[in-house]
Amino acid sequence: MTKLTKDFLWGGSIAAHQLEGAWQEDGKGPAIMDFATSGSVTTPREYTKTTEAGRHYPSHEGIDFYHRYKEDIKLFGEMGFKSLRISIDWSRIYPNGDDVEPNQAGIDFYQNVVNELLRYNIEPIITLYHFELPINLVTKYDSWKNCQVIDFYLKFVETMVNALKGKVKYWVTFNEMNHIDPQTEASDMFTYILSGLKYSELEGNKKEILAVIGYNMTLAGVRATKLIHQLDPTSHVGCVFGITPKYPVNCDPINVMNAFKDMDRDFYQIDAMCNGEFPKYKLREYADMDIDIGMTEEDKQAFAEGKLDYIGMNYYMTEVTRYEGGEIDEESLFGGVQNPYIEKSKWGWGIDPIGLRYLLNYTYRRYGLPIIICENGLGAYDEVGADGSVHDDYRIDYLQKHLSELKRAVEEDKVDCFGYLMWGPIDLVSATTGEMRKRYGFIYVNKHDDGTGDLARSPKDSFYWYKNLIETNGEEL
């Protein structure tokens, strides 16, 4: 029987802007998320472009990983992590994005982090873009609307691959660029966190701008893939997509069709990165909207030559597609309807372990490439006992159920899944709400939404559960 492989990559995923802090240290420049205030479920984050007195910007201190990474990696090592996915903050390396020379202190930091991981035999997986765009590339160049930004990105990629070559095997070109799509009524939030531009502030034809941004990022992705392969032929290059499978509300064919289209929208970039060409159906869609993304012969070649080695998937929830005449009492994160058959988290994210098995099957059958789950986890309120303990049985339950489904996808359905990276193995700042109290970690961090807390780290119950799971390679699920 097919089993999880002995070298299955058990581990976790983190992102620079959500935990490093030190936002102005050692030559780092300001990046887009440094201007995102904290928010909550009811008060959305604001994206201010300058820091304003009296407001709290959670990325500025994060959980101070910049100074505490050794302590944190030691804890990951204690859990037996086989892998950790980190992101490199572009603004530590090229503070303005368009600098001629890189900032050596930034390179040193990531070399030190990678060395520390290797000391514990933890395989580093490096994301080169996890919402950390130098703000100067937005204010001076208009972000990804401008193809020049692709060249700046490739220069940054080259610098980091050369700096980490021989130590890093797995690269990720982008995190969740699929949240930009001209077909949907886009939100300020995802437009901003991916490009530093607020949707409401886009001037001119908004749909066209989103199409161009999505296209340019996809092109940057395939060009980076080719470049990394050239710089290090032993490298494995992937891209990470955040997919929320969409279910129809019932078997009325029109609802099934709508759900199909709703879900399919998230796949055009994966098609472009795996099939050797930018999808024709997307170009026709753009033509119908009078959008010309200006694809050149050179671009076509880049798509042919920059194919992915593996696919990374972030999975948190499923949604039910909106339907005509339907009542919406509570909208889900991506505009869908809540599913009455499943529970939801305190933040309204539908908890659906079988959705993970569905997504793994769907993606594997469509592309036949190895897949790694790069994010999955439960954001929850944790209570700390008088003795410092956190009894997070709800988190264990969530992970246990999701991992059981992942195992079934591998063992029963024969999906080639080579790793599972839990999101936020240490408490960090939430990307969508900017909160600290939306906690994911196996490790509790004493830091609160008002900025107080001594940042002390302590293991929760789930820490020991995951450690045992890794030791037994998932046998006890």
Under rule CB under 6 A, residue 432 binds ligand BG6: yes
Region of 52-60, 116-124, 207-215, 432-440 interacting with ligand BG6 (CB under 6 A)? 432-440
What type of residue sits at position 76? F
Q: Is 430 in the site for ligand BG6 (CB under 6 A)?
A: yes
Q: Which of 68, 145, 438, 460 binds ligand BG6 (CB under 6 A)?
A: 438
Beta carbons within 10 angstroms of residue 328's beta carbon:
12
Q: Nearest CA to 247 among 233, 257, 235?
A: 257
Comparison of 46 and 98: residue with beta carbon closer to ligand BG6 = 46
Spatial distance between the Cα atoms of 386 and 308, rounded to a whole number of angstroms: 49
Does residue 327 carry a catalytic annotation? Answer: no
Return phi, psi of residue 374, to 5°.
-95, -15
Taking the least distance from each CB to ligand BG6, the nearer of 97 and 379 is 379
User: Is 176 in the active site?
Assistant: yes
Site for ligand BG6 in 151-180 (CB under 6 A): 175-176
The active-site residue, picked from 176, 208, 319, 405, is 176
- Smallest gap, in angstroms, from Cβ of residue 268 to ligand BG6? 18
CB 273 within 8 A of CB 222: yes
Q: Where does this chain touch ligand BG6 (CB under 6 A) — which range of 194-202, 260-268, 355-363, 425-433?
A: 425-433
Minimum distance from CB of 379 to ligand BG6 (Å)? 4
Residue 24 CA from chain centroid, whole number:
23
Residue 175 and residue 156: Cα distance in Å, rounded?
Answer: 16
CB atoms within 10 A of CB 130: 25
Cβ closest to ligand BG6, residue 229 vs residue 438? 438
Residue with tokens 């039910």: 320
- For β-strands 443-445 and 9-13, DSSP reports them as unpaired
Segment (H or E) for 242 = strand 236-242
Nearer to ligand BG6 among residue 334 and residue 464 (C-beta): 334
Strands 83-87 and 9-13: parallel
Task: Give me the least distance between CB of 175 and ligand BG6, in Å please.
Answer: 5
* Closer residue to ligand BG6, CB minimum distance, 114 or 422: 422
Active-site choice (116, 375, 405, 435): 375
What is the number of the residue whose Cβ is closest to ligand BG6? Answer: 432
The stretch among 23-31, 34-42, 390-398, 423-431 that binds ligand BG6 (CB under 6 A) is 423-431
**HSE of 332 in the Cβ direction (CA atoms, 13 Å)?**
24
User: Of the ranges 47-55, 245-253, 424-432, 469-477, which one interacts with ligand BG6 (CB under 6 A)?
Assistant: 424-432
* Using rule CB under 6 A, residue 244 touches ligand BG6: no
**C-alpha span between 169 and 156 (Å, rounded):** 17
Task: Tell me which residue of 309, 310, 308, 415 sits closest to 356, measured CA to CA.
Answer: 415
> Count residues contacting ligand BG6 (CB under 6 A)?
14
- Give the footprint of ligand BG6 on residues 372-411 (CB under 6 A): 375, 379
Q: Please give the structure tokens belonging to residue 71.
A: 């302590």
Strands 443-445 vs 457-459: parallel, antiparallel or unpaired: antiparallel
Q: Cβ distance 436 to 70 under 8 Å?
A: no
In the complex, minimum distance from the CB of residue 18 to ligand BG6, in angstroms, rounded to a whole number: 6
CA–CA dist 345, 48 (Å, integer): 29
Give 29 or 379: the residue with its C-beta nearer to ligand BG6. Answer: 379
What is the number of H-type helices and E-type strands within the chain? 15, 14
**Closest CB 66 distance from ligand BG6, rounded Å:** 17
When asked if residue 187 is in the footprint of ligand BG6 (CB under 6 A), the reply is: no
CB-wise, 34 or 299, nearer to ligand BG6?
34
124 or 379: whose CB is closer to ligand BG6? Answer: 379
With binding defined as CB under 6 A, does residue 191 bind ligand BG6? no
Span 305-364, contacts to ligand BG6 by CB under 6 A: 314
Cβ(166)–Cβ(176) below 8 Å: no
Angle at 293 between CA 303 and CA 277, to 5 degrees: 20
Taking the chain, what is the end-to-end CA distance rounded to the nearest angstrom?
A: 16
Instruction: Give the one residue of 242, 336, 419, 474 binding ligand BG6; rule: CB under 6 A.
Output: 242
CB nearer ligand BG6, residue 326 or residue 451: 451
Segment near ligand BG6 (CB under 6 A); pick from 56-64, 70-78, 430-438, 457-465: 430-438
Which of 186, 431, 445, 469 lies at the binding interface for ligand BG6 (CB under 6 A)?
431
Other Cβ atoms within 10 Å of 327 Cβ, number: 5
Query: What are the b/e assignments for 64-99, b being 16+ CB within 10 Å?
Result: bbbebbeebbebbbebbbbbbbbbbbbbbbbbbbbb
Give the residue, chosen from 423, 442, 465, 466, that forms a contact with ligand BG6 under the rule CB under 6 A.
423
Side-chain-facing half-sphere of 67: CA atoms under 13 Å? 12
Question: Rule CB under 6 A: which residues touch ligand BG6?
Answer: 15, 18, 175-176, 242, 314, 375, 379, 423, 430-433, 438
Q: Point out the residues that are catalytic.
A: 176, 375
